[in-house]
Amino acid sequence: MSSTPIRHPGLNLGHAHAEAHEASESLVFGFWVFMMSDLIIFGLLFATYVTMLGGTAGGPGPGELFELKSAFIETSLLLVSSFTFGMASLALKYRTDRKVLVGWLVVTLLLGLAFLGHELYDFHKMFTEGGVPSRSGFLSAFFALVPLHGLHVTAASIWLIALLGQIAVHGLDTQTKTGLMRLAILWHFLDVVWIGIFSLVYLGGTA
């Protein structure tokens, strides 16, 4: 059994990263607590969406606006990005070549950006078909939930770019390591939220 104490839920760096391992006890655990507030927000928006699902006001509904193939592509991009971020986290923990870590992070970033580009295309297509937020309560609830997730992915991508800059300038110092650990929590959290969106909004809407 390992004698390394568990400082917080999730990946712990261990004694090989002594300073970062100690610093993560409060930083990463605190970030877990912060993410619970995001979970409450998304929970409320999911509930609102379910409540407004039938409120199309004579406008287009899920069956007319959603394409399951497109949503599946977006889901695949995010799930693969979760895997690549996991590989980056393992590369960080086990002190592999920095190029390997950066490579996994760059692939993660590209997958996140591809997801955003695909989602923006879907929104544009919905707009051209009359699916604008002001058209009905259903569409207002949809555009409150799904784009908010996209904004989170955008923020996470910007954060990842900033961390790549930190690695280039400062190397893998304690701040960079704890930053990557916290971003990993956010990234995986957004994947879980998207699974909920894919299941409830897209699968439920096209069933």
Q: Does 6 reside within a domain?
A: no
Q: What number of other Cβ atoms are within 10 A of residue 9's Cβ?
A: 10
**Cα–Cα nearest to 109, from 157, 180, 55:** 157
Q: Does 197 reside within a domain?
A: yes
Q: Does 9 reside within a domain?
A: no
**Cα–Cα nearest to 9, from 180, 194, 25:** 25
Give the CATH number, domain containing residue 180. 1.20.120.80
Give me the domain span that covers residue 101. Answer: 16-206
Q: Does 140 reside within a domain?
A: yes
Which pLDDT tens digit goes with each residue over 45-91?
999 999 998 888 888 888 889 989 999 999 999 999 999 999 998 89
pLDDT at 12 (0 to 100): 59
- Give the mean pLDDT of the chain: 87
Cβ pair 183, 159 in contact under 8 A:
yes
What percent of the chain stands above pLDDT 90?
60
Which pLDDT tens digit goes with each residue over 89-140?
889 888 767 899 999 999 999 999 999 999 999 999 999 998 899 999 999 9
Q: Does 154 reside within a domain?
A: yes
pTM: 0.87
Q: Does 163 reside within a domain?
A: yes
At a CB cut-off of 8 Å and minimum separation 6, what does 69 contact? Answer: none
Domains identified in the chain, total number: 1
Q: Does 134 reside within a domain?
A: yes
Q: Does 110 reside within a domain?
A: yes
